[in-house]
Amino acid sequence: MFLKRILISDFKNIPSADITFSPKINSITGNNGEGKTNLLDAIYYLSMCKSYFNSSDLYTCRWGSGEFALNGTYVHEDCTEDMVSVSLKTGESKYVKRNGKLYRRISDHIGVIPIVMVSPADTQLINGAGEERRKFSNAILSQTDKEYLLRIQRYNQFLAQRNRLLKSGAVSRELLDTISERMSPDAAYIYGRRKELCTELQDLITLFYNKVSGGNGAVGLKYTSDLEGYINPGEAAEQALAALFGENIERDCILKYTSSGIQRDDIEFYIDNHHIKRYASQGEQKSFLISLKLAQFALMRQLHGVSPILLLDDLFDKLDMNRVELLMKLVAGEGFGQIFITDSNKVRVGQIAESISSEVKFFEVSDGKIYEKK
């Protein structure tokens, strides 16, 4: 599957655009702050119905507009086409349509068009809080497992309800137990899928890290959860959350929020058995992040049966040329599909793009306006 054409209206700093892309490599250049990343984010939005960079849709509308619209035409392997549109007005509902039909639930669209973004912002996967790593695992599992997406949404709804009850001060132990009971099956499912994900990623990360770094160091990851230690052999995982909440009930009542649960899950990254955040060099961290995202791509391709669209944002300023050339050979190899690359240096990205594929289109972005370069 590839994105053939995109129409943009008032998305971030892009007032309007009508662009036809290459099914293989698309090179997007321009100075910093002109809108290159915003174009990639518009493509990401059509797949995920949210921005890669902004948690709130308030920041997706062009300044002074209060609304935006995106339309994408996608071509499948059998040459059939899908039309996807997303529109939003500030303070109103978001509308997502596929081939003119409105989705009853926006979540039904997640996973239809698999996508992977690689960005300088990904350094937060190493340096940021656990929320960043949960978002990473959620982005993979939400696109590959519809059941996971439904359960994480339902768990978060019950969690918000439980926190409101704790915050109110009028705590009913019976009601808390009822909410906890409803959260338990979803928590067990989410826990199990996240644990499986980390196991599935391990071999892939090792494979790609060996290629990107030349085999310099052994990398690994470890899934951590409050549920660990509460799951006993031979017992259903659902019982673990009830036991965990029961042990922390007094603390929760004092703090007035739920202080334990899968909303605190994390993934720890290692190199040579040491935490990457504290012990790895900048070069090792960059190589690990690239390997992690390539592992994400490979796993999603395996689970979907099609190659996700790959967005590479401003990587060349963050990596040395040896790593860049190796990365591009990897992503342009067998199994990869449509790729979008942004860079401020048009000569550099042009040379690299043309060296790996003859099917390249070049675009330049200036003040939110996008021009195709012949």
What are the tokens at 74?
């996608």
**Alpha-carbon span 138 to 48, nearest angstrom:** 12
pLDDT at 234 over 60: no
pLDDT of 314 reads 86
pLDDT of 250 reads 92
Q: What are phi and psi of 221, to 5 degrees?
A: -140, 155
Rg (C-alpha) for the chain, rounded Å, is: 22
247-264: per-residue pLDDT in tens?
A: 999 999 999 999 999 999
Residues 110-122 have a mean pLDDT of 93
Higher pLDDT, 330 or 269: 269
pLDDT of 191 reads 93
**Alpha-carbon span 85 to 102, nearest angstrom:** 9
Residues 317-321 have a mean pLDDT of 68
Show the CA angle centred on residue 106, arms to residues 104 and 109, nearest 5°: 105
Helices (H), the chain: 36-48, 124-127, 130-144, 146-168, 173-213, 238-255, 276-279, 282-304, 321-331, 346-356
Q: Which of left, alpha, beta for 281 (phi over 0: left; psi -120 to 50: alpha)?
A: beta
> If we measure between CA atoms, which residue out of 103, 47, 46 comes closest to residue 69?
46
pLDDT bin (cut points 50, 70, 90) of residue 223 is very high
Strand partners, 275: 270
pLDDT of 236 reads 63
pLDDT of 235 reads 59
Domain range 1-114+307-374, CATH architecture: 3-Layer(aba) Sandwich (3.40)
**Alpha-carbon span 259 to 256, nearest angstrom:** 9
CA atoms within 13 A on the CB side of 248: 19
Residues 40-66 have a mean pLDDT of 92
Residues 107-124 have a mean pLDDT of 93
> If we measure between CA atoms, which residue out of 172, 142, 127, 157 comes closest to residue 269?
127
Residues 116-123 have a mean pLDDT of 91
pLDDT of 334 reads 64
Model pTM score: 0.93
pLDDT of 77 reads 86
**Alpha-carbon span 171 to 257, nearest angstrom:** 11
pLDDT of 351 reads 72
With contact defined as beta carbons under 8 Å apart, do 299 and 335 qualify?
A: no
Q: Are strands 115-118 and 309-313 parallel, antiparallel or unpaired?
A: parallel
> If we measure between CA atoms, which residue out of 311, 344, 315, 275 comes closest to residue 139?
311
pLDDT of 343 reads 86
pLDDT of 365 reads 95
Sheet with 94-98, strands from edge to edge, namely 14-20, 2-11, 67-75, 81-89, 94-98, 101-102
Domain boundaries along the sequence of the chain? 1-114+307-374
pLDDT of 216 reads 75
With contact defined as beta carbons under 8 Å apart, do 301 and 144 qualify?
A: no
